[in-house]
């Protein structure tokens, strides 16, 4: 029997650095080898390319390959959370114009038993696109574990090879449970490599601690511990246009002076100041953007200039057009031949000397400067297109709890929707950091351990919610200590809300990781994220102003205070003639009531109650941490 015709494939690498030749495209080459050697499927790579992380460039290649009749396109790179990771969006736009494509976005572990279940909709188009993450090891793992089983069947469906499709379906139906077993055996080495049994024994429920074994510390002590461990990330060179919000890792010096020539401040005429007022012959003009002007200004002669234009040789002043009048014109007003200077100029008038703004070689931005719009403009003005900055930490967010389910699911009995992950990821992104959704882990040691390992592998900071109190299912700390050899720095803070907040560090895959275990109640998680998580991330990104701004505010009403210092959600209002804002409570401060955070502008730092003081009167002045 003749061998089947190989599938026509294309491999597209999406990477700014690889496209510029600054890094080797190992992922793309690895994919080509896997395909051409028949390790994935019977395929032949007929096209390959490497493009920058630009929507237009990616779409152009995809559409071109579609027109060339390729049946399978595999992309690698550009699928993360950074602003320039636009590969999925490019594929989406192209697939819409080509009717349809196969989506391979579900977690891979769901396909270990029957990988063909990935194909959940009819394929009406004429090509198939699979997006893969960039690193070489990730690409090889995904290909061998999943795509090698899924893609052949997907392509058969795509090209309407109904005989093969029917045979596959009959095979699945006939194997039933046995098929699941054989598939599990086929993948058992992956389970051994990637799934771990926890050493934490939480089965002796009746012997669990009834009181926290950890000392109670103040918020200030807790913040100091977190920030001491929040070490700056490594540095990297980035294009100036991509550096917004980053912190400089070294001083930046101007390549050129600004202005690079004597420049006119006004629209007018370049003159000799010694000539004073009176008539001048107009010898020509000098406009912004023009090359060197050969015309020289001499006694009785002037040159018309625009704002920003080079001042011609010989001139030592510029007279604005408003201080002149026309005396002779030619060519029906197209040429000025003579003007009258109405007001005598002074030497240096309305001229910016060379380097008056920035001198060549001058330090224009110092180490630790955070780059905003004005700073990027400065870099552009002096021709600095690459800068050394601190990398920003990646933050993984993991929710824990048997009762939790994703927001988009129909509510099941005894369950609640997970709002913590949505809230924290939004806060992280709003603060300028990359957030990784690590899902929901059940309160089982081995399940939690696996989720922790996956999250730690993808992040610098791991923030969890839930599983830190004194309940029988609060198992985060035992798992961290028994399985990850983590150091628990604190696990009890004198504050409301957020008392059981836990902070730990561990070394994972040779790198130090920060772990913040936040309480499961939504308000507690939100408040403690503002107090610990965001300042730590800012410091790791190189910022020196990592703490939130604190102002003083007057209470708009009487406040009852708690035995613990409270971080009360409030709004701030400025009244005419008042030197301080007035703080109004956002209502019921129950730690489960996320509504109290919905309109909050600040956290009021209320002192703890004492025997002689259980309330604070209206007008009392307290500190307010701006959100």
HEC letters along 462-482 = EEEECCCCCCCCCCHHHHHHH
Nearest by Cα to 496 from 600, 571, 607: 607
Taking the CA of residue 375 as centre, how many other CA atoms within 13 Å lie in the half-sphere pointing to its CB? 21
Q: Which of 331-335, 381-385, 612-616 has the lowest mean pLDDT?
A: 331-335
> Which of the pair, 574 or 122, is modelled with greater confidence?
574
> Which of the pair, 284 or 464, is modelled with greater confidence?
464
Rounded to whole angstroms, the maximal C-alpha distance in the chain is: 105
Nearest by Cα to 497 from 473, 522, 461, 467: 522
CATH for 263-352, options being 2.170.190.11, 3.40.50.150, 3.40.50.12280, 2.60.120.10: 2.170.190.11
Q: What is the pLDDT of residue 183?
A: 38
What whole-number distance in Å separates Cα of residue 149 and Cα of residue 476? 36
Q: What is the DSSP letter of 293?
A: -
Which sequence spans correspond to the domains of the chain? Answer: 7-188, 219-231+392-540, 235-250+363-390, 263-352, 550-626
> Is 339 a residue whose pLDDT tops 60?
yes
Q: What is the DSSP letter of 530?
A: I
Nearest by Cα to 32 from 14, 16, 44, 22: 44
Across the chain, mean pLDDT equals: 82
> Is 278 a residue whose pLDDT tops 60?
yes
Task: State the pLDDT confidence band at 375, using cuts at 50, 70 and 90.
Answer: very high
Task: State the pLDDT confidence band at 113, using cuts at 50, 70 and 90.
Answer: very low
What average pLDDT does the segment 398-418 reach? 89
Query: First vs last Cα of the chain: how many Å apart?
Result: 71
Superfamily per CATH, domain 235-250+363-390: Molybdopterin biosynthesis moea protein, domain 2 (3.90.105.10)
Superfamily per CATH, domain 219-231+392-540: MoaB/Mog-like domain (3.40.980.10)
Tell me the pLDDT tens digit for each residue of 6-52: 778 889 999 888 888 888 888 888 888 888 877 667 788 899 999 99
Tell me the pLDDT tens digit for each residue of 156-190: 555 555 555 555 555 544 444 333 333 333 333 33
What whole-number distance in Å separates Cα of residue 367 and Cα of residue 389? 9
What whole-number distance in Å separates Cα of residue 484 and Cα of residue 506? 7
Q: What is the pLDDT of residue 108?
A: 39
> Is 515 a residue whose pLDDT tops 90?
yes
Q: What is the pLDDT of residue 102?
A: 39
Task: State the pLDDT confidence band at 205, using cuts at 50, 70 and 90.
Answer: low
What dihedral angle (degrees, nearest 10) is formed by the CA atoms of 244, 247, 253, 258? 40
For residue 269, give the 3-state DSSP assignment. Answer: strand
Identical fold for domains 219-231+392-540 and 235-250+363-390, yes or no, is no
Task: State the pLDDT confidence band at 627, using cuts at 50, 70 and 90.
Answer: confident
For residue 502, give the 3-state DSSP assignment. Answer: strand
Q: Which of 108-112, 230-234, 434-438, 604-608 has the lowest mean pLDDT?
A: 108-112
Q: What is the pLDDT of residue 149?
A: 52
Domain 7-188: give its CATH architecture: 3-Layer(aba) Sandwich (3.40)
Q: Which two tokens stand for residue 564?
A: 């613990």
Q: Which of 15-24, 263-272, 474-483, 581-590 has the lowest mean pLDDT?
A: 581-590
- CATH code of 550-626, in short, is 2.40.340.10
What whole-number distance in Å separates Cα of residue 18 and Cα of residue 20? 5
């Amino acid at each position: 029997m003749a061998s089947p015709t190989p599938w026509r494939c294309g491999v597209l690498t999406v990477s700014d650095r690889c496209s510029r030749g600054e890094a080797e495209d190992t992922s793309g080459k690895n994919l080509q080898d896997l395909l051409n050697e028949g390790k994935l499927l019977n395929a032949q790579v007929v096209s390959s390319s490497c493009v920058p992380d630009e929507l237009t460039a990616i779409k152009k290649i995809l559409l071109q390959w579609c027109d060339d009749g390729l049946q399978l396109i595999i992309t690698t790179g550009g699928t993360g959370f950074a602003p320039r990771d636009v590969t999925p969006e490019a594929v989406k736009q192209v697939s819409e114009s080509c009717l349809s494509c196969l989506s391979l976005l579900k977690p891979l572990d769901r396909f270990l038993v029957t990988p063909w279940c990935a194909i959940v909709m009819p394929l009406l188009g004429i090509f198939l696109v699979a997006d893969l993450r960039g690193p070489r090891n990730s690409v090889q793992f995904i290909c061998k574990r999943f795509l090698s089983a899924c893609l052949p069947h997907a392509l058969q469906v795509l090209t309407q090879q109904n005989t093969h499709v029917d045979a596959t379906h009959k095979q699945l139906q006939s194997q039933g449970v046995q098929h699941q077993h054989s598939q599990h055996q086929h993948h058992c080495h992956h389970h051994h490599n990637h799934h771990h049994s926890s050493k934490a024994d939480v089965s002796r429920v009746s012997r669990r601690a009834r009181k926290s074994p950890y000392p109670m510390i103040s918020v200030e002590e807790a913040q100091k511990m977190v920030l001491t461990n929040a070490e700056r990330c490594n540095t990297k060179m980035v294009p100036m246009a991509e550096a917004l919000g980053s912190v400089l890792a070294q001083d930046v010096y101007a390549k050129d002076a600004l202005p690079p020539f004597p420049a006119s401040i006004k629209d007018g005429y370049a003159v000799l100041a010694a000539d004073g007022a009176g008539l001048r012959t107009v010898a020509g003009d000098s406009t912004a953007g023009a090359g060197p002007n050969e015309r020289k200004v001499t006694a009785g002669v002037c040159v018309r200039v625009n704002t920003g234009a080079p001042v011609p040789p010989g001139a030592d002043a510029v007279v604005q057009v408003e201080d002149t009048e026309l005396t002779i014109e030619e060519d029906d007003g197209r040429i000025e031949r003579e003007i009258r200077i109405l007001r005598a100029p002074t030497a240096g008038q309305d001229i910016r000397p060379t380097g008056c703004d920035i001198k060549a070689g001058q330090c224009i931005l110092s180490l630790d400067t955070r780059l905003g719009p004005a700073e990027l403009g400065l870099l552009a003005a002096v021709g600095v297109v690459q800068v050394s900055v601190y990398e920003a930490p990646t933050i993984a967010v993991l929710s824990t709890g048997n009762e939790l389910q994703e927001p988009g699911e129909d509510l099941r009995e005894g369950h609640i929707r997970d709002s913590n992950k949505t809230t924290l990821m939004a806060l992280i992104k709003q603060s300028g950091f990359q957030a990784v959704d690590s899902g929901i882990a059940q309160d089982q040691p081995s399940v939690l351990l696996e989720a922790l390992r996956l999250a730690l592998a993808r992040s610098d900071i791991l923030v969890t919610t839930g599983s830190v109190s004194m309940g029988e299912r609060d198992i985060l700390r035992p798992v961290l200590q028994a399985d990850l050899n983590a150091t628990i720095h604190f696990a009890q803070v004198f504050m409301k809300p957020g008392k059981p907040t836990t902070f730990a560090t561990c070394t994972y895959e040779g790198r130090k990781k920060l772990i913040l275990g936040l309480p499961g109640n939504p308000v507690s998680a939100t408040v403690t994220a503002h107090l610990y998580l965001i300042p730590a991330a800012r410091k790791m990104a190189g910022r020196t102003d990592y703490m939130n701004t604190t102002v003083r505010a007057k209470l708009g009403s009487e406040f009852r205070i708690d035995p613990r210092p409270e971080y009360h959600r409030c709004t701030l209002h400025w009244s005419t003639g008042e030197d301080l804002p007035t703080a109004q409570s956002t209502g019921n401060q129950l730690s489960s009531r996320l509504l109290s955070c919905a309109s909050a502008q600040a956290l009021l730092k209320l002192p703890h109650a004492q025997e002689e003081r259980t309330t604070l009167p209206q007008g009392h002045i307290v500190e307010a941490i701006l959100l």
